[in-house]
Structure 1
Amino acid sequence: MRKICKNIVEAKSFEYFIIIVILVNCGLIGVETYFTTSLINTIQFIALIIFIIEIVIRYTASNTTLDYFKDAWNIFDFSIVAICLVPESWFVSAGAITTLRVLRVFRVLRLLKASEEIRLIVAVLGRSLNALFYNMVFFFIFLYLFAIIGVTLFKLPDQSMLPLVKQQILLEYISEAPNAPVISPDPYGNLTETMFTLFRVLTGEDWTDIRYNLTKASEKGLIQPPSWVITFYHVLWYIISVFLLLNLLVGAILNNYQIIMNEFKQKKLKQKNN
């Protein structure tokens, strides 16, 4: 029986069939966000049965239970199918049912195993997690440093603490240089908002508007730093974050991609020689 299951699992036709079922299943998940019918429910139920049969076949083809669960893709498949088997009637609260439905949407991730090339990309990302973590720590150190500097230099004064003349100047400034969008708070009003502002600068969204607004605030005497300091601060952060930190991140991923590709080629060569 194990030999038969192994032959089925190793057959290309079986792999293509499962990929087609996954594509149909994922496509209908999107359709269900608009409407659902009894036909769609039936097809989804059949797809679930096929996935269960696939798990049984792959499990039978494995030498031991441990061998089956050594493969991360098998654990992933088993978890997704197990979530789909949990009936919504078991839960009373609407929040729990919503959570269950959201978890079931992760069936779309089964597309990640649709081809060997996609699995290689996932392997690269998995291998890069350690490097990504340390890159994120490095990025956060600079983000935190620039955020503290930003709050210290560019935070607008509290209107209630200003004399009447300064309050009038602040109101004029708000009228002449409103935040983008208007409902947003002072971009450098506190540490967390400043960190978010720096992230906006990193993405390139309206960071020049932030700079021009601060220049206007400096002209009106609401903040102390001159315009060249404002410009230098934002340009320096943009250069460090975009051209240095992000490139370090990309470099780590590309390095691991090359390592994975070399291992993949060696594996293919061994299989060919055997």
Structure 2
Amino acid sequence: MSSKQQLSGFALFVHSKRFSNFILLCVFLNAIVIGLQTYPSINLQYETLFNRFDIIFLSIFTIEVIFKLIVNRASYFKDGWNLFDFIVVAASIAFMQSEFVSVLRILRVLRVLKTISSIRSLRRIITSLFMAVPTIGSISLLMIIVFYIYGVVGSTFFAELSPVYFGDLSASLVTLFQIATFDDWANIYRPIAESSPLSLIYFVTFIFIAVFVMLNLVVGEIVNNASNIPSDVVEDIAEIEHDVHDLKSVTLEVQQLKSEIMELKLLILETRSDGDKHQAS
């Protein structure tokens, strides 16, 4: 078997679902170990075992990075998720014997994010979220304007009725943020409504604009970007086409070997016939 065929088989193994599922299982087990380490009593009792598990998981993730580097070579760093995995693993190795324990713990937690790079559906959601960042920025700017307008109006009309919540602009903005999260907003509204019935218009319009309209805009943009991302079926088709291309190349090599064997047979037969003629003469 040629080195090219060996590399092709190795690439199929690295990109196979079995290998991906094994890495995903290691990520989940690593997350469980990290969670158990947050309990002081459990961590104190099994600290040595947890440290061994951490070395094992880090070794597995390092081998994964090395395998993908061998298969993908320079194109490995063109994928943002591969770059993230490489940075996390390299930093974990660099800080393994470091005194910065907090940094090492953060890096351990960041390994849990490998779940996203291992599951296509999660990668799809995160990609659509990043694609929506420019639009979300514009929506956030519009929301700031809405908050500012309603903050000024609230501090103007309700400062005397509720100085704690609408005494000034900063207090009004904090109150509006609390209302937007639906955190006990009814207890803010009722005392004001007893003295100012028209405050209902203020609160209802703010909730409608800031919560329902703005939130739907954000969700709609993310869904729209998600629909523009190639589906997993397309990715599967691309992988199948890649595998078919590899099989075709292997088939061509086999055919070439067959033709060379036939030529050798013919050459042997010609050599034998020439030898027989020479003996007969």
Global fold match (TM > 0.5) = yes
Deviation at 1:106, TM superposition (A): 1.8
1:233-259 CA deviation, whole Å, 9 max, x = no partner? 111101111221111111111111221
Please state if 1:83 is matched with 2:83.
no
> Is 1:108 matched with 2:118?
no
**Secondary structure of the structure 1 residue equivalent to 2:165:** coil
CA contact (8 A) 2:154 2:166 kept: yes
Instruction: Give 2:29's aligned residue.
Output: 24
Q: Structure 1 88/113 Cα, relative in aligned 2: closer, same or farther at 3 Å?
A: closer
Q: Which residue of 137, 144, 150 maps to 2:141?
A: 137
Amino acid at match of 1:237: F
CA 1:53–1:268: 2 relative to 1, 3 Å: closer
SS at match of 2:110: helix
Question: Residues of 2 paired with 1:209 and 1:75: CA distance?
Answer: 49
Equivalence for 1:201: 179
Quote the Cα distance in structure 2 between the aligned partners of 1:39 and 1:265.
Answer: 42
**Cα distance between partner residues in 2 of 1:187 and 1:242:** 19
Query: How many equivalent pairs are there?
Result: 232
CA spacing shift, 1:89–1:47, aligned 2, 3 Å: closer
Q: Which of 77, 82, 90 matches 1:69? A: 77
Query: Partner amino acid for 2:33?
Result: L
Identity %: 30
How far did residue 208 of structure 1 move?
Answer: 1.5
Tell me if 1:212 matches 2:190. yes
Change (3 A) 1:153 1:119: same
Deviation at residue 99 of structure 1 after TM alignment: 4.5
The one-letter code of the counterpart of 1:6 is: A
Distance 1:140 1:237 in 2: 12
The amino acid across from 2:206 in the alignment is W
Note the C-alpha offset of 1:103: 4.1
Q: Tell me the distance in 2 between the aligned counterparts of 1:209 and 1:19.
A: 47
Instruction: Give 1:119's match in structure 2, choosing from 116, 123, 132.
Output: 123
Distance in 2 (alpha carbons) for counterparts of 1:118 and 1:208: 37
> Larger helix proportion, structure 1 or 2?
2
Q: Which runs of 5+ in 1 are unaligned?
A: 158-172, 174-184, 220-226
TM-score (norm 2): 0.73
Distance 1:51 1:84 in 2: 10
Contact 1:147–1:191 (CA under 8 A) maintained in structure 2: yes
Counterpart contact for 2:34–2:108, Cα < 8 Å: no
Match of 2:250 in 1: none
Q: 3-state SS of the aligned residue for 1:122?
A: helix
In structure 2, the residue matched to 1:228 is: 197
Residue 57 (structure 2) aligned to one of 47, 59, 65: 47
Distance in 2, Cα, partners of 1:107 & 1:187? 42
Instruction: Please tell me whether the aligned partners of residues 156 and 186 of structure 1 are also in contact (alpha carbons under 8 angstroms).
Output: no
CA RMSD of aligned residues (A): 2.5
Which position in structure 2 is the counterpart of 1:176? none
Could you tell me which residue of structure 1 aligns to residue 229 of structure 2? 260
TM-score (norm 1): 0.75
Assess, with a 3 A threshold, how the Cα gap between structure 1 residues 136 and 28 changes in structure 2: closer, same or farther.
Answer: same
Deviations along 1:201-222, one digit per CA (max 9) or x if unpaired, are 1121211111122245xx4xxx
Whether the aligned pair in 2 keeps the contact of 1:5 and 1:60 (CA below 8 Å) is no
| CA 58–195 in structure 1, closer or farther in 2 if over 3 Å, else same | same
CA distance, structure 2, for counterparts of residue 20 and residue 230 of structure 1 = 55
> Quick check: which has more Rg, 1 or 2?
2
Is the CA contact (8 Å cut-off) linking 1:128 and 1:253 kept in structure 2? Answer: yes
Q: Which residue of 1 aligns with 2:270?
A: none
CA contact 2:178–2:185 (8 Å) conserved in 1: yes
